[in-house]
A and B are shown apart, each in its own frame.
Chain A
């Protein structure tokens, strides 16, 4: 009985797919190819990243700036999807949007963000100029490589790899950087505990220090 229903559902799905594939054949000449679709997606994600970044820098309100940051993270996650690594994309969202941005929000709320603060004034021309100069630094480092290798390296379409390869890599060839990163996190955690417990009196009940 189980197999009968399974095959019935399968036939039904096949039947549903027929008009869809006909539609696809009809639409195929009108649509851009895979490569152009990839360029289009890339352009869209670049737009999201740059737009979010500008929003984060230019908005005079800290919470809106954080929303711009969230948008940038979304665009970066889209870039990971385009590189055929959905796991990294989801992790990007899980950690940066779900945890980091939420904690930034918490910090902003705890520090009583007023509208007349330092960040609400427009920066001077000189500091904008220095910022633009700093923008050139990564270009100076990576620019020669881009010029040297642009269009020469044939890039194969990336395949979606399982997370098992990621895990095996992290625990074999890249185990040292992996452990070093965890030491950095441990140091940060120890610092946070030290800051939180400075002035803490163990004799009180901990609720009202």
Chain B
């Protein structure tokens, strides 16, 4: 569907796409909770969940039942409206972010000419939701977590955009489908080969932007209890959780689209390649969460402002020179 001619059939396709994206988000959260706990168990040399169902596969189902059944506790003196607006604001913009992703050659919900700008624009709402949650819950840990979330989110957004911009320079388009089409079928013709530095910077910033360890300062449990979502229980917490996993999936899809050839792959192109690549990136995120210790806050900011930002500007500059004088 093109953005310029929206018709009734286009609107119906959009509604169907939104429903599919919600289903994807929920299934993804269930699968990733299991994969993450099993992965953590494997890395820390313990069995992980194994009681509920065969090999513990029903554990996430039981977990979600528990979250659904929990009492929603509201502390005293919270800003009631903002307290409940924040989880909703965290969850719903993520829906929009999946629409421009080209899952397959035909499987794109919304063909926007500036797809990546749409994703980056609406990704800001997640940060805003974290801030509101931390502020509204009338808790010092929450406010501290929100403060950390701001300085981290605003800082790491810049190298992320610059790294993606290098690929945009190279392709000459901000349309995600065209970026995939510009890459070849085999791994040596993917963008990861000609933009290794941009890929590395993106990989670091995507971990920081999704607030995952080793950059999970806004919710570091040993320092801030649970950071910005300390006071949330039951479904409020579940919505933040869903949004976090959906954000992880989104940045993995963007990573697959920009650097790993998207739906193109050996033998047969199709949405299966997008999903395989995105979930490999997801498993990478899980892997480093359980491998690296959490950084200190000054280290976190120094990594960004003193290393990633100059490197990404250098990378962008080199890309611009190469594209301009040597050709694509």
Using a CB–CB distance below 8 Å, which chain A residues touch chain B? 1-2, 5-6, 9-10, 13, 17, 20-21, 23-24, 27-28, 31, 61, 63-64, 67, 70, 84, 86-87, 89-94, 97-99, 101-103, 105-106, 109-110, 159-160, 162-163, 207
Contact B124 A102 (CB under 8 A): yes
Contact B106 A10 (CB under 8 A): yes
Smallest Cβ-Cβ distance to A84: which chain B residue = B4
**B138-157: contact bitstring with A at CB < 8 Å (1 yes, 0 no)?**
00000100110011011001
Smallest Cβ-Cβ distance to B107: which chain A residue = A9
Contact A160 B3 (CB under 8 A): yes
Using A13-B106, A21-B9, A90-B118 as known contacts, say yes or no to A160 and B124 having CB atoms under 8 A apart.
no
List residues 52-82 of chain B with CB under 8 A from any CB of chain A: 79, 81-82
Give, as a whole number of angstroms, the nearest-CB distance from A94 to chain B: 4
Smallest Cβ-Cβ distance to B185: which chain A residue = A2
Which residues on the B side are within 8 Å of A24 (C-beta)?
Answer: 7-9
Contact B114 A163 (CB under 8 A): yes
Which residues on the B side are within 8 Å of A86 (C-beta)?
Answer: 3, 112-114, 118
Query: Of A64, A97, A102, A110, which contacts B154 at CB under 8 A?
Result: A102
A-B interface, 4 closest residue pairs, ranked by CB to CB distance from nearest: A98-B124, A20-B9, A93-B121, A90-B121
Contact A93 B124 (CB under 8 A): yes
* Distance of A2 Cα from B136 Cα, bound (Å): 53
What is the number of residues of chain B that contact chain A, defined by CB distance less than 8 Å?
A: 44
What are 17 A-B pairs with beta-carbon distances under 8 A? A1-B268, A5-B268, A5-B270, A17-B9, A63-B132, A64-B81, A86-B112, A90-B120, A93-B121, A94-B117, A94-B121, A97-B128, A98-B124, A98-B127, A98-B157, A102-B128, A163-B113
Contact A163 B146 (CB under 8 A): no
**Interface check B105, CB cutoff 8 A:** yes
* Distance of A110 Cα from B85 Cα, bound (Å): 22
Smallest Cβ-Cβ distance to B6: which chain A residue = A37
**Interface check B34, CB cutoff 8 A:** no
Which residues on the A side are within 8 Å of B4 (C-beta)?
Answer: 84, 159-160
Contact B106 A162 (CB under 8 A): no
Contact B147 A109 (CB under 8 A): yes
Which residues on the B side are within 8 Å of A63 (C-beta)?
Answer: 79, 82, 132, 135-136
Smallest Cβ-Cβ distance to B157: which chain A residue = A98
Give, as a whole number of angstroms, the nearest-CB distance from A76 to chain B: 13
Query: Of B123, B128, B270, which contacts A101 at CB under 8 A?
Result: B128
Contact B143 A109 (CB under 8 A): yes
**B1-23: contact bitstring with A at CB < 8 Å (1 yes, 0 no)?**
00110011100110000000000
Smallest Cβ-Cβ distance to A19: which chain B residue = B9
Which residues on the B side are within 8 Å of A163 (C-beta)?
Answer: 113-114, 174
**Interface check B269, CB cutoff 8 A:** yes
Contact B132 A98 (CB under 8 A): no
The A contact surface, by secondary structure, is helix
Contact B125 A20 (CB under 8 A): no
Which residues on the A side are within 8 Å of B125 (C-beta)?
Answer: 97-98
* Distance of A154 Cα from B8 Cα, bound (Å): 27
* Distance of A207 Cα from B104 Cα, bound (Å): 50
Smallest Cβ-Cβ distance to B85: which chain A residue = A67
Q: Which of B112, B114, B122 has the most CB of A within 10 A?
A: B114
* Distance of A115 Cα from B177 Cα, bound (Å): 50
Contact B113 A162 (CB under 8 A): yes
Which residues on the A side are within 8 Å of B298 (C-beta)?
Answer: 207
Which residues on the A side are within 8 Å of B143 (C-beta)?
Answer: 109
Smallest Cβ-Cβ distance to A4: which chain B residue = B268
Smallest Cβ-Cβ distance to B13: which chain A residue = A20
Using A109-B147, A162-B113 as known contacts, say yes or no to A23 and B154 having CB atoms under 8 A apart.
no
**Interface check B131, CB cutoff 8 A:** yes
Contact A102 B9 (CB under 8 A): no
Which residues on the A side are within 8 Å of B106 (C-beta)?
Answer: 6, 9-10, 13
* Distance of A21 Cα from B136 Cα, bound (Å): 47
Contact A70 B151 (CB under 8 A): no
Which residues on the A side are within 8 Å of B124 (C-beta)?
Answer: 93-94, 97-99, 102
Contact A105 B150 (CB under 8 A): yes
* Distance of A110 Cα from B154 Cα, bound (Å): 16
**Other contacts beyond A91-B121, A94-B124, A105-B131: 8, CB < 8 A:** A9-B106, A20-B8, A28-B8, A84-B4, A86-B3, A87-B113, A87-B114, A106-B151
Using A67-B82, A160-B3 as known contacts, say yes or no to A106 and B147 having CB atoms under 8 A apart.
yes
List residues 160-179 of chain B with CB under 8 A from any CB of chain A: 174
* Distance of A24 Cα from B12 Cα, bound (Å): 10
* Distance of A10 Cα from B107 Cα, bound (Å): 10
Which residues on the B side are within 8 Å of A160 (C-beta)?
Answer: 3-4, 113
Give, as a whole number of angstroms, the nearest-CB distance from B2 to chain A: 9
Which residues on the B side are within 8 Å of A110 (C-beta)?
Answer: 147
* Distance of A103 Cα from B131 Cα, bound (Å): 11
* Distance of A62 Cα from B317 Cα, bound (Å): 41
